[in-house]
A and B are shown apart, each in its own frame.
Chain A
Amino acid sequence: MAMKENLRTLLGAGWLGWQMEANWTDPFLFLVYSVAKPVSGALILVFMYIVILGGVAAQSTAFAYIFLGNAFFIYVGQVLFGVTWVIHEDREHFQTLKLIYISPISFYYYIIGRAGSKILIATIAVVVTLLFGVFALGIPVDAFTMDWGLLILCLTVGMACLVSIGIALAGITFLTAKHSGGINEGIAGLFYVFCGVVFPITQLPAWGQSLGYAIPVTYWLEAMRKALLPAQQLQGTGLQGIENIWLVALLAVSALFFYFLSILIFRLGDYLARRAGKIDMTTAY
């Protein structure tokens, strides 16, 4: 019974999220969010690369490593940002947070539902960026040699993991004001530095490498690269020895861990927010 209700909340929120994002059919907004922003972000790295090494053909394995890591990282930013943004937006702009909050639906499922639509939209940006990399920059991703099984499996588990982390952050967001942007920007930034996104974690000092090995995103990105370019693996990344099966297992275990952690933090954040009366606050200056 409760399950059915939660499912309904989830689907309803997914629908609501999609309605809110439905202006995606607007060509201008599609260009902004699914093309201009992600491709420019990738091009910054491409130009850094070209400036230092003279062209993208030089050290092409390293180039593919950087480009793919950056492309899939869009998911991390979008999902973390998306989940916390739901809270921020509902609270400050629409001022409906309190309305949803006092309605009897499970807020937890509401957020997951809203996150679903964000994942869909992030997927468009990732695909556009990848297509740009393949066709404009010659990254040798090939639909026939790709490891589709690994791709789909890791994508699913990876998303579950990211949403869990996002919800943990949402719990913290309950307590903060202007910084809801800051928190996910910060966590995403941490992941960007420590998870071997645009450079191998072997570049980091020893403590930074240890941190990198502790975050599931590191393995997730490695798995995505392996799925897309099974034949072309960069040496000296600190992860090249790990078998695919272990990558998946590590991901699954950490996803489960973050799932329970997120429930804990979310409940705590929710409780503290109510105690501090921050459910319906607004804060501009």
Chain B
Amino acid sequence: MNYAVETKDLTRIFRVKKRRRRRSGSKGAEQDVTALKDVNLRIEEGELFGLLGPNGAGKTTLIKILCTLLLPTSGKAYVAGNDVEKDPYPIRRIINMVSGGETSGYGLLTTRENLWMFSQFYGIPSKEAKKRIDEMLEAFGIWDKRNAKVRTLSTGERQKANVIRGFMTDPSIIFLDEPTLGLDVNASRIIRKFISDWVRETSGRTVLLTTHYMMEADELCDRLAIIDEGGIVACDTPRNLKRTVSKASSLMFEVDYLRDPDKLKGIEGIQNFTYKHNGQMNRTLLTFIVQDESAVADIVSRIVDQGAKIHSLEKREPTLEDVFVSLVGKGLA
């Protein structure tokens, strides 16, 4: 079986001619920018795959190569088993792309007309296309903007229209380059929900998404790759990635005053245990570092055995941001 996306030692180098300096007359030297370096990636059909990385890491470059807009300098890239270099046309039939902040279409046409125009480039019969477009306009809450000229739309409305443009052609693989860039909480939520529903609705649909919002990546993606300076530095499920930073999660209990907290020691699966009494409030604060969460049940029953009440339980897991910072060395947005 083919992977939805597969790259083998994918490398892309941009040759940048330095601007000739005025009057100096010397011919500009060529300088190379390595945007991608030996990238090996496999994305399964049906996956919602995320790409995280700092600015200039090479995310957009990778997407452009997979969308047949850019050729690799060396290495291979396959989309649904087709070589991006040799067979771009079969790829183009089954993909689409949406990037954040893009403008598309013609300002003079209405939202609906623009979408219809793009649908025609995929050979969708007009009637069918209009039906899909109307449904999606409704779903994204811009139905009232259907007859507005696109040049009058707000950034968010335009971005919703872009997302519709990407999904309306019913691609099997869609590339989303920062699809929620510059959107408000509500709009991003609508788009995120749409994306995750879309992938799960029918089997075989694949999404490759880049984002700078950690929460978005965590919430949406089945698997994530973290890319930095053109190379993949980690690739796994969000959960596993977070474990690499610290394999354990910490649980904090606030309970009634415990006379003998040491009795809680020795529960299986507990890595570390500390406690603190708060005499004023007549409470005890217990902190467990656990290997896995199956220990929770044991802990709770032992506390209850001592006749204490649990007032609150807080679990703090390492976040993706922790992962990102530990791998890339600098925080995001």
Residues of chain A having any CB pair with chain B under 8 Å? 22, 281-285
A19 to chain B, nearest CB (A): 9
Report the bound CA distance from A22 to B22 in whole Å. 10
A280 to chain B, nearest CB (A): 10
A88 to chain B, nearest CB (A): 15
> With a CB–CB cut-off of 8 A, which chain B residues contact A285?
106-109
Encode contact with A along B143-186: 1 for CB under 8 Å, 0 otherwise. Answer: 00000000100000000000000000000000000000000000
B314 to chain A, nearest CB (A): 48
A7 to chain B, nearest CB (A): 26
Encode contact with A along B229-262: 1 for CB under 8 Å, 0 otherwise. Answer: 0000000000000000000000000000000000
> With a CB–CB cut-off of 8 A, which chain A residues contact B109?
285
Which 3 pairs show the lowest CB-CB distances between chains A and B? A285-B106, A285-B108, A283-B107
> With a CB–CB cut-off of 8 A, which chain B residues contact A281?
107, 151
A179 to chain B, nearest CB (A): 13
> With a CB–CB cut-off of 8 A, which chain A residues contact B22?
22
Report the bound CA distance from A282 to B158 in whole Å. 15
| Chain A binding surface, main DSSP class | loop
A94 to chain B, nearest CB (A): 15
List 10 contacting pairs A-B, 8 Å CB cutoff, sorted by A: A22-B22, A282-B151, A283-B107, A283-B151, A284-B106, A284-B107, A285-B106, A285-B107, A285-B108, A285-B109
| Chain B binding surface, main DSSP class | loop
Q: Which residue of A lies closest to B151 (CB)?
A: A281
A178 to chain B, nearest CB (A): 9
Report the bound CA distance from A282 to B107 in whole Å. 7
B179 to chain A, nearest CB (A): 23
Further contacts, 6 of them, CB under 8 A, given A22-B22, A283-B108, A285-B108: A281-B107, A281-B151, A283-B107, A283-B151, A284-B107, A285-B107
B89 to chain A, nearest CB (A): 27
Report the bound CA distance from A285 to B150 in whole Å. 12
Report the bound CA distance from A283 to B150 in whole Å. 10
**Centre residue among B22, B106, B107, B109 by max chain A CB count within 10 A:** B107
Encode contact with A along B95-117: 1 for CB under 8 Å, 0 otherwise. Answer: 00000000000111100000000
> With a CB–CB cut-off of 8 A, which chain B residues contact A282?
107, 151
> With a CB–CB cut-off of 8 A, which chain A residues contact B106?
284-285
Report the bound CA distance from A281 to B106 in whole Å. 12
Q: Which residue of B lies closest to A283 (CB)?
A: B107
Q: Which residue of A lies closest to B108 (CB)?
A: A285
Report the bound CA distance from A79 to B227 in whole Å. 53
B117 to chain A, nearest CB (A): 11
Encode contact with A along B20-36: 1 for CB under 8 Å, 0 otherwise. Answer: 00100000000000000
Q: Which residue of A lies closest to B103 (CB)?
A: A282
Report the bound CA distance from A281 to B151 in whole Å. 7
A104 to chain B, nearest CB (A): 26
Report the bound CA distance from A283 to B108 in whole Å. 7
Report the bound CA distance from A283 to B106 in whole Å. 7
Chain B, 287-315, CB within 8 A of any chain A CB = none
> With a CB–CB cut-off of 8 A, which chain A residues contact B151?
281-283
Q: Which residue of A lies closest to B109 (CB)?
A: A285
Report the bound CA distance from A34 to B22 in whole Å. 22
Report the bound CA distance from A282 to B149 in whole Å. 12
Q: Which residue of B lies closest to A22 (CB)?
A: B22
Report the bound CA distance from A277 to B245 in whole Å. 51
Report the bound CA distance from A100 to B141 in whole Å. 35
Report the bound CA distance from A285 to B22 in whole Å. 36
A218 to chain B, nearest CB (A): 39
Report the bound CA distance from A281 to B103 in whole Å. 13
Report the bound CA distance from A80 to B107 in whole Å. 27
Report the bound CA distance from A283 to B107 in whole Å. 6
Report the bound CA distance from A281 to B22 in whole Å. 33
Report the bound CA distance from A268 to B108 in whole Å. 25
A279 to chain B, nearest CB (A): 13
B118 to chain A, nearest CB (A): 14
Report the bound CA distance from A283 to B103 in whole Å. 12
> With a CB–CB cut-off of 8 A, which chain B residues contact A283?
107-108, 151
B40 to chain A, nearest CB (A): 39
> With a CB–CB cut-off of 8 A, which chain A residues contact B108?
283, 285
Report the bound CA distance from A285 to B107 in whole Å. 7
Report the bound CA distance from A284 to B106 in whole Å. 6
Report the bound CA distance from A282 to B22 in whole Å. 32
Report the bound CA distance from A9 to B106 in whole Å. 35
B218 to chain A, nearest CB (A): 36
